[in-house]
Structure 1
Amino acid sequence: MIGFSSFRTTRETGLAAQACIEKIQTLAHQANKGFSSPLYAMIDIADRLERDPQTARNIWVVRSNQQSGAETTHTRISAWPLRFSPQAHASEKPLLYLSSSVTSAELCALSSESAQRGIFCNDIETLSSNWPKGAHPWLPLWLAANPQCLPFDPASGAEARAIAIAALQSLYVEGRHGFYYMALHDDPNDFTGPMSSLSANQALKGMYKVSELDTDIQQPRVRLLGAGLALREVISAARMLREDWGVASELWSCPSYTRLARDANSAERWNRMHPGRLRRSSHLRDCLNTKDSPVIAVTGYAQHVADQIGAHITSRFVALGADSTESLPGEPTSGKTVDKHWIVTLALRALAQEDKIPQEYVEQAMRRYLLQ
């Protein structure tokens, strides 16, 4: 396995990354006129970076994925030649790796051959599979446990572009170790709308607010968190809670539960080791620092991915993943996804446990949505 010292991050590396960043920022301004899926956004970025003579020489693009792209081939390489390339060892260039890696073993091999460097984009959620999000159950465990990997599950093309820019800045301009990972779905629905610079910055920390609560309305309220394609079900559940049960929802997009958990764990560890110093907070605590309403965290992976943040939530917390519930009538057991009806029901149950709504609401929801 090649190590971090195999490639040299030089001034030329930073200039190459900056050229790519400027190109992607131009694409982002153009994309604000419409909306795209994370998969479309990243393939479009790869295609345009390859077509532009100013950026084509500044990036390695590796394509081992099953999605079609542009017909250009001049930078489509296997990562293996980077081991032997004097040019690569003299000055590192950004690496964009488009893959279809179902298992952690496959992804581990890809990251090893590229010295655990680069931006890895995985499109397996778009392929037929027996597993949630197309990923073998060990894959999300490997992502969360690998300290060199910063995993993201973007909900929209805007989130994917923001993550790509941040990765180029962090890895190749600032010279930090490790690699970024993005799970890509191909649903073009507009989950979050155009992203402000503040939202983009907070998304990179793990979560940002999609909609505010109406503080003038006195009604039961919950905070709903969703990642990736699961955010679509979260938004639908918020609508059902409002229209059918009189419950208000504060919506958050959470591109990385893992980053939120790592940041919160780091702050907690620092506070424990420095009891006499000013306590450190975390982005998760800053976003969800009140105890007045339950938090429902939803992921398209297994429940343990969202459960990572539970220890740092001060209010009632419920994690929901693709393995959290039984299949609905007529729903296939393979490749399960989270369902808006379960999100609604679990939100009602959390409110009932705090005596904010009658318990019979939960029983009515179970019957109404055929969940019994």
Structure 2
Amino acid sequence: MIGFSSFNKTPETTLAAQACIDKIRNLAQQYTAGFSSPLYTMIDIANRLERDPGTARHIWVIRSNNQSQIDSCHPRINAWPLRFSPAARASEKPLLYLTSSATSAELCALSNESAHRGILCNDIETLPSRWPKGAHPWVSIWLAANPQCLPFDPASGAEAHAIALAALQSLYVEGNDGFYYMALHDEPNDFIAPISQLSASQALKGMYKLNEIDTDAGQPRIRLLGAGLALQSVVSAAQILRDDWGVESELWSCPSYTRLARDADKAQRWNRMHPHMPRRSSHLLDCLSADDCPVVAVTGYAQHVADQIGAHIQSRFVALGADSTETPPGKSLDKRWIVVLALRALAEEGAIAQTRVEQAIGRYLLQ
């Protein structure tokens, strides 16, 4: 059996990453002010980095999918040649892997192939499939359970842009271990406002607020959390709740429920082991511990992905995923179910009458 080592991190690795960061950062306005999708954003970033003579020699781009090919005589379709190349192993460069992988077995093979390094972008959600988000149900389990993987489900091109920059900084400038994963969809992000620098920073921690509501208006309030393409359904549900039921919704985009849960778990463990020290908080608690307003967390994956944060939510919590209702493959979560579950949570808190939940179920024919 042929043996080989992992890629070596050198000063040249940092210089290569910084060249890519500078190039991508200059494109920020294109993604933050416009309405580009996560898929378009990452393909455009890959194409620009490869076509620019100033960055082409500083990055490895692997294209194992069919949507992102550019004109090239020698396109890289896997990372194994890099593993066997003495020159490549001598000094690591940033690795951007564009793939269409539907199973955890495929993703496990890709992560081994790339030495558990790089930015792995999966566009399987854009292709026909019998599974929600185009991914086998074990994929979300593998992503959440893999300590080497930091998974994200960006809702917009701006979020994908911010995540790509953070991954380059963390992996190749700071030299941290592991790899980043992004699930990419191709729907434009015209359902949320352009992202600010502060929001981008908070998005990398797992969640950021999309709107402000009047807490003194006396209307029932709910917090709605959404990730990836499911955020569109969440925003639509908020509009229905306001127009039809007089409920105000505090909206949050959650690019990574897994990162939120890991951060909260880490803080909880530290507090248990250091009972006499000042307690540590987490980004999740910093965002959601202000009051006891109910929280509904929505994901296009199975419900367990959003459920990861449930143990740390201090108010009433409801998780909703593709397996929570009869969501057809390739379809977004039904916004009507989000409305009904939000009303039910408010009814259980005594904020509205239970009859309103029954009215909503009958109105939307969700028997």
TM over 0.5: yes
C-alpha deviation, 1:95, in angstroms: 0.3
Please point out which of 341, 345, 354 is paired with 1:350.
345
Deviates more, 1:334-343 or 1:42-51: 334-343
The question of 1:224 aligning with 2:224 is answered yes
Alpha-carbon distance in 2 for matches of 1:2, 1:270: 43
The question of 1:36 aligning with 2:36 is answered yes
C-alpha deviation, 1:89, in angstroms: 1.3
Q: Write the deviation string for residues 123-173 of structure 1: whole angstroms up to 9, x where unpaired.
A: 000000000000000000000000000000000000000000000000000
**Equivalent AA in structure 2 for residue 337 of structure 1:** S
**Equivalent AA in structure 1 for residue 123 of structure 2:** D
C-alpha deviation, 1:217, in angstroms: 1.4
Alpha-carbon distance in 2 for matches of 1:238, 1:87: 54
Alpha-carbon distance in 2 for matches of 1:3, 1:14: 26
**Equivalent AA in structure 2 for residue 293 of structure 1:** C
Deviates more, 1:191-200 or 1:268-277: 191-200
Aligned twin of 2:259: 259
Aligned residues: 367
**Equivalent AA in structure 2 for residue 350 of structure 1:** A
Q: What is the SS of the residue equivalent to 1:102?
A: coil
Aligned twin of 1:152: 152
Aligned twin of 1:64: 64
Q: Write the deviation string for residues 169-208 of structure 1: whole angstroms up to 9, x where unpaired.
A: 0000000000000000000132332211111110000000
Aligned twin of 1:235: 235
Aligned twin of 1:291: 291
Alpha-carbon distance in 1 for matches of 2:51, 2:238: 42
The question of 1:360 aligning with 2:358 is answered no
1:59-208 alignment to 2 at 5 Å?
59-73=59-73, 76-208=76-208
**Equivalent AA in structure 1 for residue 231 of structure 2:** L
C-alpha deviation, 1:52, in angstroms: 0.1
Q: Write the deviation string for residues 255-294 of structure 1: whole angstroms up to 9, x where unpaired.
A: 0000000000000000001111111000000000133310
Q: Which runs of 5+ in 2 are unaligned?
A: none
Q: Write the deviation string for residues 65-104 of structure 1: whole angstroms up to 9, x where unpaired.
A: 1214421355635201111112211110000000000000
Q: Is the 8 A contact 2:171 2:178 kept in 1?
A: yes
**Equivalent AA in structure 2 for residue 340 of structure 1:** K
Aligned twin of 1:54: 54
C-alpha deviation, 1:339, in angstroms: 1.1
Alpha-carbon distance in 2 for matches of 1:86, 1:323: 47
Aligned twin of 1:369: 364
**Equivalent AA in structure 1 for residue 268 of structure 2:** E
RMSD value, Cα? 1.7
Q: Is the 8 A contact 1:56 1:75 kept in 2?
A: no
Q: Is the 8 A contact 2:233 2:332 kept in 1?
A: no
Alpha-carbon distance in 1 for matches of 2:228, 2:177: 25
Q: What is the SS of the residue equivalent to 1:231?
A: helix
Aligned twin of 1:330: none
Deviates more, 1:23-32 or 1:116-125: 23-32
Q: Is the 8 A contact 1:297 1:318 kept in 2?
A: yes
